[in-house]
Amino acid sequence: MSPTGPAPRPDGWPDPNERTCDDCGHVWFAGERRHEYADVEAASPEDSDVVCVLCRRQRERPRSAERYEGF
């Protein structure tokens, strides 16, 4: 298995693990699945959703399908 790496986090943004997942309400703690910013191009971390890796993968499914179709 080779999961995609974590999304790059812009400088100065707090650790997304400190926020709950906006999709499923998952709360991170050591050993649990990571959280990531859903929109790293948002103006500020507050403008971006934070999602756990499971929800992030769900959100990305349409996008990767598009990418595959374009190939």
Q: Which of 4, 6, 14, 24 contacts Zn ion by CB under 5 A?
A: 24
Stretch that binds Zn ion, among 5-13, 38-46, 52-60, 61-69 (CB under 5 A): 52-60
Stretch that binds Zn ion, among 1-9, 12-20, 45-53, 63-71 (CB under 5 A): 45-53
Q: Is residue 60 part of the contact set for Zn ion (CB under 5 A)? A: no
What are 28's two structure tokens?
Answer: 């991170």
CA-atom Rg of the chain in angstroms: 13
- DSSP strand E in 1-71: where? 35-37, 50-52
Question: Which spans of this chain sit near Zn ion (rule: CB under 5 A)?
Answer: 21, 23-24, 26, 52, 55
